[in-house]
Amino acid sequence: MNFRSLLMFVTLCDNDYFVTKTAEQLGVTQPSISNAIKELEKYYGVKLFDRIGRRLTITSAGLKLLEYSRLVVQRYNDLEREFRNWDRLGELRIGTSNSIGAYFLPSILSEFKKLYPDLTVKVTVNESSNIEELIINNEVDLALIEGVVHYEDINKELFLTDEISIIASPERYRDGQVLTREQFEKEDLMVREKGSGTREIFLNKLSDADIHPKITVESVSTEVLLRCTYANVGIAVVPRRVALGAYKEGRVVFLNLEDLNLKRDYLIIHHKDKFMSSYAEDFINVCKEVARAQ
């Protein structure tokens, strides 16, 4: 017994048991239809049709086989439709750091869904270091992170350059004020939690410049850092784009730290051995397009 025989059997029943019509529909000969029915009858040891005159009449055994055969044919058709259109109906697993997930991913997903409205997109938001682990373990297909890649097996591609900003309450400093390293080291500094790409980049830059901050607040939420800055709890380190809204509202000012470049890169990453589907490639292209529009 094979699937083709079941398909011929179901199609024959759907065509009111007319062999000629069924053969034309399937593009086969009439003997092929007859042989398929005989094969099924021999395989299951039952009679599927009675022949009364020149007309076929399905038996009770035939009706029961038809019930199951329809399910098999339907599942096969589902399989064909889904996998032959996997680029449109499949699944894409995205990882993203907290900052990108909160401030960039919504715009990216909005544009991407215009291309693939039926594609399932699963998003995991976590610290950059944890996202890299997901890439290594093949738990996400690609990811968006900021900062440094720690694994040789991960391919990286720049899609946006941003700036890390030091922000403060306007009650404390004037906008654009340059802090000396001595002033900065005396300040209560508020930063993201360990594992954050923003934190890692910033502290690495400070370490390279032999600057030693006094960290008093750590938070998994950038929004908490913003609100603590509004309340003049200390100065904070956040992505510049994240603070632009508050800056335009006059709730924070941007500070500079002498002789320190705070540029940082946003990266698209995936495992070097990962097959990138066409929709994964399109997602990468959308990321770049959205970045250019920023």
Domain locations in the chain? 3-84, 88-160+266-293, 161-264
Instruction: Report the alpha-carbon distance of residue 28 to residue 30 in Å, rounded.
Output: 7
Q: What are phi and psi of 2, to 5 degrees?
A: -140, 170
**Token duo for residue 101:** 């997930």
DSSP state of 250: T
pLDDT at 86: 59
pLDDT at 196: 83
Q: How far is 241 from 189, CA to CA, in rounded Å?
A: 19
From residue 128, alpha-carbon distances to 155, 192, 217 in Å are 15, 12, 20
Instruction: Check residue 81 and give its pLDDT.
Output: 64
Per-residue confidence (pLDDT) for residue 88, from 0 to 100:
58
State both tokens at 125.
């938001």
The 10 Å Cβ neighbour count of residue 220 is 13
Residues 166, 171, 175, 180, Cα dihedral to 10°: -60
The first and second tokens of residue 151, run together, are: 């694994």
The reply to whether domains 88-160+266-293 and 161-264 share a CATH topology is yes
155 and 271 in contact (C-beta within 8 Å)?
yes
**What tens-digit pLDDT sequence spans the chain (294 residues)?**
688 999 999 999 999 999 999 999 999 999 999 999 999 999 999 999 998 877 889 999 999 999 999 889 888 876 776 666 555 557 899 999 887 887 789 999 999 999 998 889 999 999 888 999 999 988 899 999 987 898 999 999 998 888 889 999 999 999 999 999 999 999 999 999 888 878 888 998 899 899 999 999 999 888 999 999 999 999 999 988 889 999 999 999 999 998 888 887 889 999 988 888 888 999 999 999 988 877
Cβ neighbours of 223 (radius 10 Å): 11
How distant, in Å, are the alpha carbons of 28, 144, 200, 289 from that of 99?
60, 10, 13, 19
Class of domain 88-160+266-293: alpha beta
Could you write out the DSSP letters of every residue in 55-117? EEEE-HHHHHHHHHHHHHHHHHHHHHHHHHTHHHHSEEEEEEEHHHHHHTHHHHHHHHHHH-T
For residue 279, the one-letter residue type is Y
pTM over 0.75: no
Half-sphere exposure of 169 (CA within 13 A, CB side): 15
Task: Report the alpha-carbon distance of residue 236 to residue 55 in Å, rounded.
Answer: 85
Q: Phi and psi for 125 in degrees, rounded to 5?
A: -110, 125
| Structural fold of domain 3-84 | Arc Repressor Mutant, subunit A (1.10.10)
CATH topology of domain 161-264: D-Maltodextrin-Binding Protein; domain 2 (3.40.190)
Lookup: tokens for 168: 């403060």
CA pseudo-torsion sign 192, 194, 198, 200: positive
